[in-house]
Chain A
């Protein structure tokens, strides 16, 4: 029998401009201080380590936007230019706290905060089944690309 899936509220932060690593680090560190966040995904266009195609294929791709940042004490490398941040939270009050933080943070350009329940996967798809099997950890779904060898970053709660 399948477990009952609890639909937690989700929200998506979309700034008008794509963020640089320093700004993203600042914003994410503000966000992780808010308690009640279950899962978080950073989305944006890929910044590959090597040139993926074209005449220079395979050559190194130095890019100042692909950088190590520290969020909530965990260090990880940004693989994308931060375009949107998707969060799954425990209740709607947390979303309001995130909104208040974003209002304070985005002063140079506007942002949009969308709320709903469909920005991040909550149930396994066939691809997830093939990758994780029948007893997949529901918290891990949709956090990383199933084809990617690197797993999600775990930020410890305080």
Chain B
């Protein structure tokens, strides 16, 4: 029988959302539209419309060593062109954010190629070739992996994921990269490292509470669904904890 990945345990909405994000066979709901130029502006790695700076000549122009792995794995478009390696970093609020660092890394590993994710407690960075990155970043912003108020694109000074939200519902940002306009639209006025943008980039209105609760991948006993209510998840975690504790002594399930 062919192996069928289960992606994760749990019977709660949160568990189901985690599986949905990770499973590459499921097409995630597209929630907003951003242009390629918007993405380039927020990333701040190059000026919109400029050529991609390169780190090495295109693969087609250089002599490649005779390597079996290179024959099996096709290079991504960015690697083929010799692009620089650049990054995008996300911060998700613990108050029902649509994703979270580990979840983002799992999702990206299942869905993207040629990436190097970095997972930290409050932020998640993914590095890859620049033109691949822009495509991935666009997908990460346009789909349900992003929520304008509860997710933020922050290259540096990321503090805020565990803080209470501000009055207008935005996650705290020391550099105030995005602001809520008069019509409630979240607009980025600085790029991800905090340098002012030439033109503001609009990412739409924050989504309502019902949507946020239905699409979150974070357990939160006060504002969302409680971890302890998902018995299957607890059972799975207890099993892993028990096995890794016994491992090296008697790694046998009783």
A65–B176 touching, CB < 8 Å: yes
Contacts of A20 in B (CB 8 A): 166-168
Q: Are B176 and A45 in contact (CB under 8 A)?
A: no
Cα A16 to Cα B159 with chains together (Å):
18
Instruction: List residues of chain B with CB within 8 A of the CB of A53.
Output: 156-157
Are A64 and B164 within 8 A (Cβ)? no
Alpha-carbon distance between A47 and B172 when the two chains are bound, in angstroms: 10
- A109 vs B193: C-alpha distance in the bound complex, in angstroms? 32
A81–B172 CB distance below 8 A: yes
B179 at the interface (CB under 8 A from A): yes
Determine the chain B residues whose CB is within 8 A of the CB of A64 once the complex forms.
Answer: 176, 179
- CB-CB under 8 A from B167, the residues of chain A are 17-20, 23, 108-109
B123-164 CB contacts (< 8 Å) to partner A: 155-157, 159-160, 163-164
- B196: nearest residue on chain A (CB-CB)? A62
For the complex, is B194 an interface residue (Cβ under 8 Å from A)? yes
**How far apart sit A85 and B173, CA to CA, in the bound complex (Å)?**
20
Chain A interface residue count, CB cutoff 8 Å, equals 27
A61 within 8 A of B: yes
A82 shortest CB reach to chain B, Å: 10
Number of interface residues of B (CB under 8 A): 21
Which residues of chain A come closer than 8 Å to B157, judged between CB atoms?
A: 51-54
* Chain A residues with CB below 8 A from B166, complex form: 17-18, 20, 65, 81
Is A134 located at the chain interface by the 8 A CB criterion? no
A52 to B194, CA, bound (A): 11
Q: Does A135 sit at the interface, judged by CB under 8 A?
A: no
How close is A102's CB to chain B, nearest CB, in angstroms?
A: 15
Q: Give the most central of B157, B167, B196: most A CB within 10 Å.
A: B167
Measured CB to CB, the nearest residue on chain A to B157 is A54
Q: Are B195 and A59 in contact (CB under 8 A)?
A: yes
User: CB of B165 within 8 A of chain A?
Assistant: yes
Distance from B12 Cβ to chain A, minimum over Cβ atoms (Å): 24
Question: Hey, which chain B residues are within 8 Å of A62, CB to CB?
Answer: 176, 196
Report Cα–Cα, A56/B240, bound state, in Å: 42
Give the nearest-CB partner of A55 in chain B: B193
The reply to whether B155 and A55 contact each other, CB–CB distance below 8 Å, is yes
B194 touches A61 (CB 8 A): yes
Say yes or no for B174: interface residue by CB 8 A criterion: yes
- With both chains docked as a complex, state the minimum distance between the C-beta of A80 and any C-beta of chain B, in angstroms: 10
A16 to B172, CA, bound (A): 13
Q: Tell me the residues in window 19-51 of chain A with beta carbons closer than 8 Å to chain B beta carbons.
A: 19-20, 23, 45-48, 51
Q: Tell whether A83 is near chain B: CB-to-CB under 8 Å.
A: yes
- In the complex the two chains form, what is the Cα distance from A20 to B155 in whole Å? 25
Residue A156 CB within 8 A of the other chain: no
CA distance A25 to B38 in the complex (A): 36
Note all chain A residues with C-beta closer than 8 A to B163.
18, 45, 83
Contact flags (1/0) for B40-70 with A, using CB distance below 8 Å?
A: 0000000000000000000000000000000
Nearest A residue to B164, CB-CB: A18
Interface string of A72-96 (1 = CB under 8 A from B): 0000000001010000000000000
Contacts A/B (CB < 8 Å), 22 sampled? A17-B164, A17-B165, A18-B172, A19-B167, A45-B163, A45-B174, A46-B174, A51-B156, A51-B157, A51-B194, A52-B157, A54-B194, A56-B156, A56-B194, A59-B194, A59-B195, A61-B174, A61-B194, A63-B175, A64-B179, A81-B172, A109-B167
